[in-house]
């Protein structure tokens, strides 16, 4: 279902011989008090950003069977697929994509360029080609979640990819199919989480952390920036490095690496000294 707002500003009349564009038609099946369509101004509730303008001439798409809660705002250029649901007071900035059958909870804020419900990365080798596996699940973003710009959350192969209530996700984060993110997690920019990994509540992943698939990161765990997580993490653990290790151990290794050039020079000097005393064959 397309909605379009005319190019004429509120209160201005069209030029002679020019017809005014009609107001957007209502979307079938939407509840009363439903979406603020692209270009339509909506009241800002407590803690919600304001719709900054009418967005004249912009186009958005809400397909059949979409459900949009009261006071939700869907700004210009958004695509909302068939059967998708948007909770009360949610705010979708321009050019958000919410694919079919995916859900956004109440008071969620979704920034521009984010795609929710793209296909999971699932293929099977068949001779010389990769065959695509159907991705028939969905994504559920629970209440009070904020997603930054250009976040991508893949739909589950089957079942649901889930982002827990109150979690905050920074720009440019990739979350793969069937990942389960707990409540009140913090995921900083450029993190990548592979398929079917589970994050407990209150997990913190700093910038550019990479997480392999099919592991569990326990509640309250914290992973330092640019770390590579290759196995499950216990609740409350603090890890850093590649591969990710307990912070104190990782820091000792990091400090030792700084002395590596001097250590190599010392080893060469000792080798020469041994050769002088015992001959070259003594070190073979």
Please calculate the CA angle 88-90-95 and round it to the nearest 5 degrees: 140
Name every residue whose Cβ is closer than 8 Å to that of residue 195 and which is 6 or more positions away in sequence: 120, 121, 122, 154, 157, 176, 177, 178, 179, 213, 214
C-alpha radius of gyration, the chain, whole number: 26
Nearest to 89 by CA among 102, 76, 108: 108
272 DSSP 8-state letter: H
Backbone φ and ψ for 111, nearest 5 degrees, come out as -90, 165
List C-alpha distances in Å: 131 to 2, 119, 158: 34, 14, 17
First to last CA, the chain: 78
Torsion of CA 238, 244, 248, 249, to 10 degrees: 150
Backbone φ and ψ for 118, nearest 5 degrees, come out as -65, 160
User: Exactly one of 2, 8, 130, 177 is catalytic; which is it?
Assistant: 177
**Environment class of 205 (CB within 10 Å of its CB; exposed 0-12, middle 13-18, buried 19+):** buried
Q: Is 2 a catalytic residue?
A: no
Residue showing tokens 């700084």: 258
Which residues are catalytically annotated?
177
């Amino acid at each position: 279902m397309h909605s379009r707002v005319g190019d004429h500003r509120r209160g201005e009349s069209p030029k002679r011989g020019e017809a005014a564009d009609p107001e957007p038609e209502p979307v079938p099946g939407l509840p009363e008090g439903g979406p603020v369509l692209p270009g339509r101004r909506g009241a800002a509730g407590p803690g919600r950003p304001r719709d900054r303008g009418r967005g004249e001439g912009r186009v958005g798409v809400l397909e059949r069977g979409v459900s949009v809660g009261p006071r939700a705002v869907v700004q210009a250029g958004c695509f909302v697929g068939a059967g998708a649901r948007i909770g009360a007071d949610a705010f979708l900035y321009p050019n958000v994509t919410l694919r079919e059958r995916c859900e956004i909870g109440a008071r969620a804020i979704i920034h521009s360029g984010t795609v929710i419900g793209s296909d999971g990365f699932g293929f099977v080798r068949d001779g010389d080609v990769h065959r695509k596996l159907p991705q028939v699940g969905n994504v559920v973003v629970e209440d009070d979640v904020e997603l930054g710009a250009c976040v991508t959350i893949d739909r589950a192969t089957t079942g649901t990819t889930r982002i827990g209530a109150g979690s905050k996700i920074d720009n440019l984060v990739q979350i793969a199919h069937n990942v389960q993110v707990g409540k009140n997690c913090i995921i900083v920019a450029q993190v990548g989480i592979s398929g079917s990994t589970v994050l407990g509540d209150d997990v913190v992943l700093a910038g550019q952390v990479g997480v392999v698939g099919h592991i569990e990161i326990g509640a309250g765990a914290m992973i330092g920036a640019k770390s590579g997580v290759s196995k499950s993490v216990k609740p409350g653990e603090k890890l850093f490095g590649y591969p990710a290790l307990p912070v104190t151990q990782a820091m000792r290794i990091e400090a030792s690496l700084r002395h590596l050039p001097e250590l190599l020079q010392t080893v060469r000097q000792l080798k020469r000294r041994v050769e002088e005393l015992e001959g070259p064959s003594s070190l073979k």
